[in-house]
Structure 1
Amino acid sequence: MKKILIGSIIFSLTIMNCGKVKDDPEITASITKAVANCEVDTRYASLKNCKENADKDLKDMIKNKGPAASLPSLAVALNNDDIKVAATAASVMYSNIKDYMTKVSEKPESVDGKVLDLFMKGLEKYKSEYFTMYAVRSVVHLAMIKGDKKIIGFLKSHSEKAVKSEGLTYLMQFGRMKVFDEVKELAGDKETVRIALKNPRNMYKLSADEEKTVCDWAMGFLDSEDMTASGNAAMTIATRCKGEYLDKLLDKVEKAAEAGELKGDYKSSLTNFSFSCQSFMGSQPTGTTEQCERKAKILEKAQ
């Protein structure tokens, strides 16, 4: 019975290919094996109680082949009529693809644009399914790397809050300032202002111009009466800005501490999401000695 099931899934995946996006037979076979030998959670995209190391074998294969070589097969699988196959693809994308897309960004031509189109079809096909939340970040990364913004409109109108938030939060990681106008538009809506202000925190190695643009923008929300906006602005300034921006942030959180309101996002801007006060792996502190001493005093008073 198991052989019949495996054969059926492979046939389904092969037909799905249709010569447009070519899957890797080894990856397809490994996905098929995982579906046949694991309990597939089709809500949370997880593989449980697997036999024959099917889950480990699949993830090891994806890791060894790398994102560019794996994405076509995962796009095909995400479109499969069997929701277990699609959820398995999402599971692998979350654990083995989303954090490794820098390799694709270094060589965008390594992934054909048709792969992105196929991923979009899969997200649309399973639009009502929560498990797509685990696939969407990788698709957003690919879209931004390829310079394709159509996924933004798709996500803005998405009915599943978790999918919408997960996707839109990572626009600037690879889209950077090319999608800044779209991110600023998100900041104009109370429901998505948090998502907008989190975006720069997913950018790395900002240029001087990028830093100034982002920090000037975030400063505009620091005094907002909307605590979600103000608190997220504080965390963005603390992690992506230096100099006078940090001085103004410290002014803000010091007042909050004096009023007994140093909590939530404000407190995080001095703790979990804060400027550095020590060198780390060759990177110099982003806060000055005076700013770091001031931060410590504010936290001490707030105890």
Structure 2
Amino acid sequence: MAATNQSPKANVPRQIAIIGAGLVGTALATQLVHAGKSVSISNSRGPDTLHDVERITGAKAMDAKRALSEADIVILAVPMSGILPLQPILQPSVRPDTILIDACNYYPSRDGKIQLLEEGMTESVWTSKTVSFLVVKALNNIIALNIASSAKPKGSAKRVALPVSGDDEKSVAVVMELLEVMGFDAFNAGQLEDSWRQQPGQPAYCTEPNLKELVALLSSANREGAGGKRDQGMAISQKLPPNFPPQTMVRIARLGAGLDWWKPQSWFAAIQLAYALAKASFKHTA
């Protein structure tokens, strides 16, 4: 895959609505507020359930319909099973010029099986068809708990690169500029159909690469066996204790993607994982 991170400069609108107040939505809200954006956050249960999220993130808890109608950018940060219920809300609320960012990922063990995705449809293509809006795929392949800690100033040696995929050039340019403002190098990864390369089970997923590494990881993506790797990764994460370090998971993901084999901390991370899984297995059988 050729490097296509060059994109027209675009002014990032200030008003951003995040739909979903879980780990991903909360982490994104925190980072976007830190970047000086006006952010609202909504969930399916209403703004009265989000007082703690408001306090933690600095975002404004808001009814989803109002948030959608006022936003310049909407970030979908819900399980894939939560996409279909959004369709009746999105249709009458979202303005034609609003940019929708799909930060979601498909995990059958959590979302239930979605037949078209099981048959190989690219996740964000399915989302776009389901909500009847063009979407831009971004912010789906970084561990939520690492969003703040991994963000770095422009030019930093260890700045993480994140892919952006979409069919509308102007929308992709705006989202790329948004990622740059958030503290990441943005890479134009092609059309929405190509965003399968950044889905769970692929080498670019949660490996926090630099720009050069990201290009190589996207190029090495392979659809064959990706679903099995995704499900295996989810099964492992479900066995880990809640306080298992997310940066250790990144090191393990990088090791699995063929990166950092020469680094002692990579193998120490693998030992930590093996120990945690053995401990979990012992507790289960005891």
Asked if TM exceeds 0.5, the reply is no
Q: Which has the higher strand share?
A: 2
Larger Rg: 1
TM-score, normalised via structure 1 length: 0.28
